[in-house]
A and B are shown apart, each in its own frame.
Chain A
C-alpha cells in the first residue's frame, strides 16, 4: 500500500541509496531509486567476504542482502542501467528526465552517488598499469571474491605480499589532503584473510599511520601485529627485477641503517576514495558545488535544501556508516515532507556521561518525553528531561514500544513505561601516570582546560604523549592536535610523541598538516621501550629513540608532560549488558561487533547504543548516532499491525521451562499475564531458535516443522539447508545441478539435529548446512547452533562423517558456494 505517490528520487543504488530506499519502504513511502549499473549494491556488492574463522565485520555481505530486500519492495520504483539526463528546477521541486527518457517530478532528491576508487595509474612510479602483480585493494576484493588469487603466485605456498597504504590519500600536493578512512581497515582485513588462505605467506603492510580505530579493528590489529610485519613508511616506487620477475621495493632497514631491496610476489595498493565520476555532472544539474576534494563534507561545499547528500558523496565512509547516513537522509526527507506519523513516545536514556546528557537533550528537543537515568548528570533541574538521577534500575522487561523499567528511587520501587532505551553509559576513564617519575604529569583534559581558560599558566615547553598506554582513542588524538595548535598560537613550544597519528574524520589530515605547519613537533616511537623518562628539575627529560632517526637518541626537555587517559569498559558494563540482555564485545564494551545491528542498534528491538560505551565516538559520530537513533523512532514503527512470525507456542505442550525466554536472541518472548511465554511479533525476527531449542517441542513453526522440511528432501540427492540471508543469497544467481536440493530457511538457528537426521532418514545422500559466518548471524546464534547440531549428528556411532557438513557461506561468497557444491 503506497502512502504517497512517489515524489522522492534517490540517485545511486549503493549502500547509502539502498538504506534510504529501505527506510522509505518501511514507512510505505514510495520513491524512485536510480542506479547507473544494471544491479543494485554499488561497490560493496563487488567486495569479498573477509571472514576467516569468524566474521570480520566488514559489512560487504549486507549490500547483497539489502539489494535482495529492495527488489521485493513494491513502493520502490527502480530505474536501473540509467543515469540522470536533465534535472529542471521547478517552483516546487524538480522535473527529472532520465537517460532512458523516463520523466517524473519529485520534491526531494537524495544524492547518494558514492565514490570511485583512486586510479593509481596516475602515479607512474608505482607502475600499476604495467606490472600484472601490482593490484589495487578493490581488485584484491574481486580476486578474493572470485577465488582466483592463486593465479598470482605461480603455485608458491609461501608468497611474499605487500600492502601499501594511502595511495591517493593524504597528499596535499595532489589536492587530496584527506584520509580516506576505510583503507587501513580494508587492508588489515585483507592481510588477515591472506594469512588464513596462505598460512606460510610473508606479509608486510606499509602504512603511514595505521588507523586503528573502532571496536572491530582493535582486536584485528592485535592479531595482525603478531602475524604480519606492520611497517611505518609507505614506499612510493615499485620496480620489477629483470632476473627474478619479482616486484621490488627499496626501504630503509633500521637495523643496518641501509637501503635494502625487498622482493614481493604481489603488491596491493590500498587506494583511497575519490568522489564518483558522476558526482560532478549530477551536482551541476542540481546547482550544488562540492568542495575542492569533490565531496560535500566541509563547509566549503554549496548545498540546497531540497537535496540531501548521503553516503560517500559526503566524504569517505565505510559500509556501516554509509548505511547509517542513507537511513538518516531518508528520515530527514520524511520529516521535511511531513510524512511521519509522529508518536508520543517515552524514551529512556541510561548513563551518567556528558554524551548521555547530550543524547537526552537532543531526543527531548524532538518532542519525545525523555527520561534520563544518570546519576551525577550535569543537566540542570529545569532541563526538558525528566532526570531520575537517584534511581537504580532493577529490571527491563517487555519489548520495543512497550518496555517496562522497574527501578528503585529512594526507598520506593517504581515502574516506567517506555518505547525505547538508549544506552549511553560512560566508560572507565583512568588517569595515566608514569611510575618512575616523581614530578607530576598533567592529564590531557587538564592541559586542555589550562590552554582554554588560563593560558598564562601554560608552561613554555610541553610534550603530549600518545599511544603509550595502549592504542590511543581517536578523540584523544584529535584533542591533542587541536590543543597543540592553540598552544602554538600562544607562542608555546609543544611536541607530540606518538606511535601513529589518527587522522580520522573529514578534516583530520588538514588539522595534522596545520599543526606541523605551525611548528608543533611530532616524534614517533615504535615500542614503549624506545622511551625513557627522567625527572629534570621540576620538569622532565625524555630520552627517545625516534623511529625515523634510529641511530640517534633524542633528548627532549619539557616543563610539562601531558598524558591522555585510558578508556576501558566500566565496572558496570557487565550488569548493564545483563540488564539489557545484550552481549558485550570482545573488549568488554557494550554491543557486539555484529554488523547486522551496528552501528547503533541491537538484536533486541528498541534498545539503542550511543557514544563511547559501545564504540569510539567523537562529537560528529555522536551527532550521527543520535540522528540514526531518531530515524529509528520516526521510521521504525513500534506499533505496526502484528506481523506473522511463522512461529507459535502450543500452550498445551508448553512445560513453562522458560528455555525460549532464555534463548531468544531478540528478547521477543515475554511472560504474559497468565504467566505463560508469549511471542511478541513486532520484536521477533523469525529466527526459529525457540523452535529448535524447545525441549517439549511446544514451539511450532507454521511452515518449517521438521516434517515440512523433511517433505522437501529428495531421495539420493544432496540437501543444502541454506540461511536465506547468506548462503541462499550466494546461491541465488546459480543454476543448481539436478542432484542438489536447496532448502531456504530463515536462519541457521532453525537447524536442530532433528532436522538433519530427518533429512538423512528421508534419503538425502548428504546434508550440507550453510549459513552466516560466526558473529555475523542476525540472531547471533545461527552459526553456533548449526555447527553444534552438525557435530551432534556426527557424534552418533556409525555416522559417516562425509554425510553431514557445516559450511559458513556469506551472501557475497557465491564462488565459495559453487566450490562446495562442485565437490558433491
Chain B
C-alpha cells in the first residue's frame, strides 16, 4: 500500500484551499454524492471523484497526478452537480492538471495544438494566407449555393454587425459546415464577416488548466474582434469554446468585452423569432434526440436554444434520459477527444452515452458541439447504433427557406 503524508504546503493545496476566499475544497463533506455521478458510470477504469477531491484537499499532489485520474476525467462536472458544498470538479481537476509535476501527463497532441495556437494563431497551424485562400474559394462556390450572384462569404471586414468564429475543422475537413453556416448568415440579411484572426473557437489552454494560456487564447479572440469593431461575436457550435468565450469570458479577461457573444444556435433562434429566418420542418420529417454538450448545458446553463431550434427544423425533440443538468457526457470531453491515441478509451467513456442513444430507438440525434458530434458519430459506428448524428445549426441550414 502507498503511504503518504498530508501536505498543507503543496502547490495544489495552496491553490484550492484558500480558507477566506470560497472555492475551498477542504469544505468537502465527504458525503460521496459525486461518487454516484461520474459520467463513466460503472465502466472499466476511470476516475473516482471523491478520491480526487480528497487527495487535492489533503495536498497529496503526487498521488493525484500519478493516479491517472486527472486525464481520465472528462471535465463534464456531472459528479459535482449538486455538491452540497458547491465544489466544482472541473476547477479542481484543471488546477491539478496545471501543476508542473503533471506536465508529463499532458497528451502530446494537446501540447502540439497549444503550441500551434500560441505561436501561429491556430490549433491546426492554419496560416493567414491559407485562411484567405480557403475562404475565397468557398465564397465562389457559395454563389451557386444560394443562387445569388452577389452573395459572398466576407472576411476581415471592419464594423460588421456579426463576426463568425468557426471551429478549426470548418476550415479544414469540414468546409461544408462553413458553407452551411454562411447560408444562415446570408439569410439574416445582416452585415457579417469571417476574420483571419478568428479561425479557432477552441481553447486548449482550458483543458490543461493553465490560466495564463487560456487567457492568452481568449484575448487572441477578444482583442482583434474589438479592433474589427463588431457588435456580436457568433461562436461556432463548440462546447468548451462556448464555456470559455461566453460563460467564463469576463472572469478570464477581468472586464466586459466590447461586443456581445452568442452561439450559432442562439443567433438562429433570435432571427427566427424576429421572423427573419424561416424553416421547413418537412426537410427533416422525424423526431430527433438531442445531446446536451456538458460545457454548454450543465456548465453554462445553455439548455434552451438548441431545443427551440430543433423543434423548428424537425418534428420535435426527444430527450435522452437523463438530460440537461444531469446529461451524460458524450465521452469525448476534457481534452480526451483531442488526443489521437484515445479512441479505445473513448469507446469506454462513451458507452453510457451509446446506451442512452440506443434507448431512444430513434435513427437521428443532434448536438450543438462539433466535438460531441464527432464522438457521437464514432459511438454510433462502434456500437452499430445506426444513428445519424448532426449538429443543430447544420440541420437548421438544411431546413432554411431562402
Contact = CB atoms under 8 A, between A and B. Distances in A.
A158 interface: no
B31 A123 contact: no
A233 B43 CA distance: 20
A259 B41 contact: yes
Contact of B35 (A172, A239, A252, A261): A252
B32 A125 contact: no
A503 to B, nearest CB: 10
Interface in B18-41: 19, 24, 26-38, 40-41
Interface in A209-254: 232-237, 239, 242, 249-252
Given A123-B82, A552-B3, A251 B35 contact: yes
Contacts of B83: 173
A252 B69 CA distance: 14
27 contacts: A123-B82, A125-B81, A166-B31, A170-B29, A170-B31, A170-B84, A173-B82, A173-B84, A206-B32, A208-B32, A233-B30, A233-B31, A236-B34, A236-B82, A237-B37, A237-B326, A249-B36, A260-B42, A261-B42, A513-B29, A516-B28, A517-B26, A521-B26, A551-B2, A553-B4, A555-B4, A555-B5
B86 interface: yes
Nearest to B323: A124
A554 to B, nearest CB: 6
A124 B26 contact: no
A681 to B, nearest CB: 55
Given A172-B84, A237-B36, A242-B359, A553 B42 contact: no
Contacts of A543: 3
Interface in A246-282: 249-252, 257-261
A548 interface: yes
Given A124-B322, A173-B83, A258-B44, A516 B27 contact: yes
B322 A239 contact: yes
Contact of A125 (B40, B58, B322): B322
B362 interface: no
Given A174-B84, A250-B41, A259-B42, 8 more contacts: A124-B324, A170-B84, A233-B32, A250-B37, A258-B42, A259-B48, A513-B27, A554-B3
Contacts of B30: 208, 232-233, 522, 524, 548
B42 A250 contact: yes
Nearest to A524: B30
Nearest to A241: B355
Interface of B: 1-6, 8, 17, 19, 24, 26-38, 40-46, 48, 50-51, 54-55, 58, 60, 63, 81-86, 321-322, 324-326, 355, 359
A235 B84 contact: no
Contact of A553 (B1, B32, B48, B322): B1
Contact of A518 (B5, B19, B29, B355): B19
Contacts, number: 148
B54 A519 contact: no
- Most chain-B Cβ atoms within 10 A of its Cβ — which of A208, A258, A516? A516
A252 B36 CA distance: 7
A549 interface: yes
A557 interface: yes
Interface of A: 123-125, 127, 166, 170-174, 206, 208, 232-237, 239, 242, 249-252, 257-261, 493, 513, 516-519, 521-522, 524, 543, 545-546, 548-549, 551-557
Nearest to B25: A516
- Most chain-A Cβ atoms within 10 A of its Cβ — which of B5, B48, B83, B322? B48
Contacts of B4: 552-555
A521 B58 contact: yes
A211 to B, nearest CB: 14
Contacts of A516: 26-29
A522 B29 CA distance: 9
A206 B325 CA distance: 23
B247 to A, nearest CB: 19
Contacts of A206: 32
A524 B48 CA distance: 17
Contact of A555 (B3, B31, B41, B51): B3
Contact of B40 (A170, A235, A259, A522): A259
A233 B50 contact: yes
B35 A259 contact: yes
Contacts of B322: 124-125, 127, 237, 239
Nearest to B79: A236
A509 B83 CA distance: 15
A125 B24 contact: no
B38 A250 contact: yes
A720 to B, nearest CB: 49
A234 B50 contact: no
